Amino acid sequence: MGKEIKFALVYRDMWQSSGKYLPKVDQLVKVAGPIIDMDCFARVETNGGGFEQINLLFGENPNIAVRKWTQPFNDAGIQTQMLERGLNGIRMSPVPADIRKLMFKVKKKQGTDISRSFDGLNNPQNLENSFKFAKEGGMIPQAALSLTFSPLHTVKYYIELADKYIEKGAEEICIKDMAGIGRPVSIGKIIKGIKDRHPKILIQYHGHSTPGLSVASSLEAARNGADIIDVGMEPLSWGTGHADLLTIHAMLKDAGFSIPDVNMKAYMEVRALTQEFMDDFVGLYINQRNRYMNSLLIGPGLPGGMMGSLMADLEKNLSSLNKWLAKNNQEALSQDQLLIKLFDEVQYVWPKLGYPPLVTPFSQYVKNVSLMNVMQMVKGRERWSMIDENTWGMILGKSGKLLGPLGDKILALAKEQKRTFFEGKPQDLYPDELELFAAKMDEKGWNYGEDDEELLEYAMHPPQYEDFKSGKAKERFLADLEKRRAAKNQTTQTAKSVAPVPVPISNTNQASTFQPKELEIEVNGEKYKVNINYNGESNTGANNVKDSSTKTTSENKETLNTPMASYPQEDGLLVVTAPLEGKLYLTKDASETPVKVGDKIEVGQTVAYIESMKVINSVSSDKAGVIVEITGRHGEEIEEDDVIIKLQ
C-alpha cells in the first residue's frame, strides 16, 4: 500500500471564493452531520478570514456560530482549522498584539484546533506572534507559504522561507496556492525540498482551481511528500474555488496512494444541502462567472478568495463608470472589456508595487490600484492618481519589507507627497487596545461574553460589531436580500413572458416567409448581424458574419481624451467632488481633526476619505480656497462626482 494521504474539506473557503456571504448558523449545523458521515475527512475548515465579519453583516452572533459549527466535528474527532492573516488577525487591517493573543485563546475555547497563519508579504517577523500565541492558546500553529509566480518567488525562496517559519515556531507547513497559478512541478520541488530538510514536518497543500493547474499540483504535492490535500465539493468546487474531492480521490487512488473511501450517499446529501443554502439566499451573492475556471487568471494571478468580492466590485464600478461615459457622450464598456483592462493593468502595476504576493489583503490593494488606474485612464486622467491609504501603508513598509524594488513613479510620488518609509517592526505601529475596548463595553453595559469572546469580537471588528448590536446590520442585510430577491424574480418573470416565435416546420419555400432572414444579437456587449439559413436556403451575404459597423464598444483604448474640467463650479463657488463612490468619512481616525467651514485649503491637501472596495481612499483637493460649506456627510454613502465641500 502506498503513502497515506488525508483530505481536508475547505467548506468556509468554498463560499468565500464564490461570493460574499456564507450559510447561517442553523444551516452550518445542518450540514455538519452529513460531512462527518462522508467518513473521509481528517480536517474541516470551519472559520477564519472573513467568516465572522460576514456573520456580523447579516446580524448573526459569530461566536455562537463558531461554537455550534465546530462542536459536531470536535465530538467526531475531526480536527478543525481556521485561517488567520497574521498581523491582520481575522480582518483586513493590522491588529494590536493583545487582541491577536486573545483571539487564539478564544478560538481554541470555541473548538478550533489548528491555526493556519499567513502573512501577505511572507514576512516571518509578522508571524512569530501568531505561532507563539497559537501555542499558548493550545492550538497547532501551521504556517502558510503564500504562493505566487514571479521572477523573485523561486523554489529556493519558498524552501528557505519554510526554514524561517519552522525556526520561529511553526509546527506544520501549508503550501497556500491561493490563485491556483503555482506550476505543478515547482510545487513538487518546494514540498520535496522542505521534506528533505524537515522530514517530520506535516505539509498540507491548498490550491484553488481557477486556471486549472491545481489537479496536477495535487498529484505532484502527494508524490513529493504532502500529507494532506485540501479539497472542495459540488456544487461549489471548481471555478474560483477548489478541485472536487471525487476528482482528487480518483486520481490519487489510481496513483497508488492509500486514501479513505467516500460515503457517496453522504456526499450527495452534503451536495444537496449546499445547493439548498444557495437557493435560500447565499446564491444571490454569487456571481456566476466565479463558477467558471478561467485561464486568463494565469497572467494577473488574482486569488480565488478575492474573485467573489472582485466581481461585485466590478459590477458596481462598471455602473459608475458607464454613467460617467454616458454623461460625457462616450460609449459604454461591457463587463468583459473592463475585466480584461483590469487584468492587463494588474500585470503592469504588480512589479512596480514590489511584487507583493497576491493574497489578502495585498491582492486587494494591487487590484484596487489597478482598477482605479483603469477608471482614471478611461476618463482621460493619469495613472496612479488614486492610491488608497492602505496601499500606501504597504508601499511604505508598514506591513514589512517588500520583496521587490518599487517603481520610479511610486518613489517619486512618495517624495512629492512627503511620505516617510518605515523600517521597524510592523507590530510596533499598533499599540495594545484591549483595555480601551473593555472600557467602551463597560460604558455601554455590554457583557464581555464567555471566555471574553464578545470583547474580542468588538475589538477585532468595531464598526461591524456596533451595527450588529444596534440591529442596523440585520436591517440593512434584510433590505438588500429583499432587493436581490425582487430583482431575481423580475428577471425570471421577464424571461417567462417572452414567448418564442413559432417557426413552421416545412420544406417548402412558403415557410421561409414566416422566418427571419437576419437577426441582430448582442454578445458580451457587442452587436452582430447574423444571416440565417433554413434547410439549405441561400441568403444574401455570408452566414454568421460580423458587421463591423454595428460594433458598439470601444476596445484597446487606454484613454479617452475627455478629461473633466479641473475647476468645476457650483453657484459661483469652486467644489471638491468625490472621485469614486463609497462611504464618506471626514476623518480617518479619532486622532484626526476634520476640516471645517472657514479653513483655508491648499492644492493637494487631504479633505476627506472614501471607503470603497475594503480600503480607505484619501480625497485631495485639486484647488485652493476657503471652505464655505461642507455638503458631504460623515459616515454616509456618496456617489462619484457628488460635491463634498465648496470653496471660495
Assess whether pLDDT exceeds 60 at residue 579: yes
pLDDT for residue 560: 31
pLDDT for residue 304: 61
Band of the pLDDT at 559, cuts 50, 70, 90? very low
Please tell me whether residue 623 adopts helix, strand or coil conformation.
coil
pLDDT for residue 589: 65
Angle between helices 245-254 and 214-223 (to 10 degrees): 40
Band of the pLDDT at 510, cuts 50, 70, 90? very low
pLDDT for residue 305: 57
Residues 6+ apart with CB under 8 A from 109: 450, 451, 453
Strand partners, 84: 117
pLDDT per position as a tens digit, 55-111: 999 999 999 999 999 999 999 999 999 999 999 999 888 999 999 999 999 999 999
SS (H, E, C) 147-204: CCCCCCCCHHHHHHHHHHHHHCCCCEEEEEECCCCCCHHHHHHHHHHHHHHCCCCEEE
Q: Do domains 6-291 and 569-647 have the same CATH topology?
A: no
Band of the pLDDT at 613, cuts 50, 70, 90? low
pLDDT per position as a tens digit, 455-496: 999 999 998 999 999 999 999 999 999 999 998 888 777 766
Band of the pLDDT at 428, cuts 50, 70, 90? very high
Which whole number is the average pLDDT over 415-429? 93
Assess whether pLDDT exceeds 50 at residue 503: no
Assess whether pLDDT exceeds 50 at residue 279: yes
Domain range list for the chain: 6-291, 569-647
pLDDT for residue 51: 87
Which whole number is the average pLDDT over 256-275? 97
**CATH code that applies to domain 569-647:** 2.40.50.100
Q: What angle do CA 508, 510, 516 make, to 5 degrees?
A: 110
H-helix or E-strand spanning residue 523 = strand 518-523
Contact 203, 194 (CB under 8 A): yes
Assess whether pLDDT exceeds 60 at residue 569: no
pLDDT for residue 546: 36
Band of the pLDDT at 512, cuts 50, 70, 90? very low
Q: Between 92 and 433, where is the model more confident?
A: 433
pLDDT per position as a tens digit, 370-391: 988 998 898 888 899 888 888 9
Quote the CA–CA distance of 470 and 465 in Å, as a whole number: 9
Contact 636, 608 (CB under 8 A): no
Range with the poorest average pLDDT among 431-435, 462-466, 534-538, 632-636:
534-538
pTM here?
0.77
Assess whether pLDDT exceeds 60 at residue 519: no
pLDDT per position as a tens digit, 467-476: 999 999 999 9
Which whole number is the average pLDDT over 523-540? 46
Assess whether pLDDT exceeds 60 at residue 516: no
Q: Between 585 and 128, where is the model more confident?
A: 128
Which whole number is the average pLDDT over 409-432? 93
pLDDT for residue 554: 34
In angstroms, what CA-CA distances link 362 with 314, 346, 441, 535? 18, 12, 32, 57
Q: What is the mean pLDDT of the chain?
A: 85
Tell the CATH topology of 6-291.
TIM Barrel (3.20.20)
pLDDT for residue 412: 94
